[in-house]
Amino acid sequence: MRAVLLGPPGAGKGTQAVRLSERWSIPAISTGDIFRANVKGATELGRRAQEFMNAGALVPDEITNAMVRDRLAQDDTGEGFLLDGYPRNPDQAIELDSMLADMGIELDAAIEITADMDEVTARLLKRAEIEGRADDTEPVIRKRLEVYATSTAPLTAFYEGRGVLVQVDGLGAVDEVTDRLVAAVENR
Ligand code: B4P
């Protein structure tokens, strides 16, 4: 299984990626998690990414694409991978195509978790109370949702055109959403 996981901030990508990666025995690769680990570790990559993340903006493509290319080259992706939060704009999607072509492989599925804006905003504000993530404040959440609408939402049509899009409703309990995702992808 070689798949990407799409959806607005707060739709449950990170939550479901962990479960799906266990189910399919493939690594879940979250660009957001890699950036956050680098910020925490005070690396050069983290220093460059932090200002964009804290503002709710996308980290520039040249930084993100290079990071994903390196990650996909690691040994554990041989049996597949689940990219969580990448690609996030059409240029990243085209770059991913080129990475996969260089590896001689193709994408099996682009899995989109859908959720309305009120629900995702409520989830992220709840997470802010629990985790205190710097980008979970109300103005930054608003900005992230705008960035999603203008930059990331066009990927739905992009992958639909490729015939690999699988859309799943992200509302409901976490287990229910997992069951829906597994059924939608495995029965397609
Ligand atoms: P991400 O880490 O991808 O953050 P996210 O979009 O908010 O999703 P996340 O996975 O954390 O949340 P989830 O929906 O699972 O990106 C953060 C930042 O990194 C970006 O803004 C950007 O700056 C940068 N970045 C990342 N990738 C990039 C790229 N490709 N290019 C450029 N920049 C990039 O969950 C949200 C909350 O909902 C959680 O608290 C969860 O517990 C809860 N939840 C999940 N499912 C639920 C359910 N069914 N019911 C109730 N609550 C639920």
Domain hosting 18: range is 2-186
Active site residues per annotation = 13, 88, 127, 133, 144
**pLDDT of 135:** 95
Domains: count for the chain: 1
d(CA 78, CA 89) in angstroms, rounded, equals 25
CATH number at residue 42: 3.40.50.300
What is the predicted pLDDT for the residue at 43? 97
The strands making up 165-169's β-sheet, listed across from edge to edge, are 28-30, 81-84, 2-6, 109-114, 165-169
Residue 32 CB less than 6 A away from ligand 1: yes
With b for 16 or more beta-carbon neighbours within 10 A and e for fewer, the 119-137 pattern comes to: bbbebbeeebeeeeeebbb
- Per-residue pLDDT 10s for the chain (188 aa) are 999 999 999 999 999 999 999 999 999 999 999 999 999 999 999 999 999 999 999 999 999 999 999 999 999 999 999 999 999 999 999 999 999 999 999 999 999 999 999 999 999 999 999 999 999 999 999 999 999 999 999 999 999 999 999 999 999 999 999 999 999 999 99
Is 27 near ligand 1, meaning CB less than 6 Å away? no
Residue 60 alpha carbon, nearest atom of ligand 1:
32
Inter-axis angle of helices 61-72 and 31-40, nearest 10: 100
Expressed in angstroms and rounded, the spacing between residue 120 Cα and the centre of ligand 1 is: 10
Measured CA to CA in angstroms, residue 121 lies from 3, 108, 115, 134, 153 at distances of: 26, 30, 10, 15, 17
Does the beta carbon of 8 lie inside 6 Å of ligand 1?
Answer: no
**Nearest atom within ligand 1 for CA of residue 31:** 27
Of residues 179, 176, 180, the one with CA closest to residue 167: 180
d(CA 12, CA 112): 10
Q: 11 CB under 6 A from ligand 1? A: yes
Q: 3-state class of 26 per DSSP?
A: coil
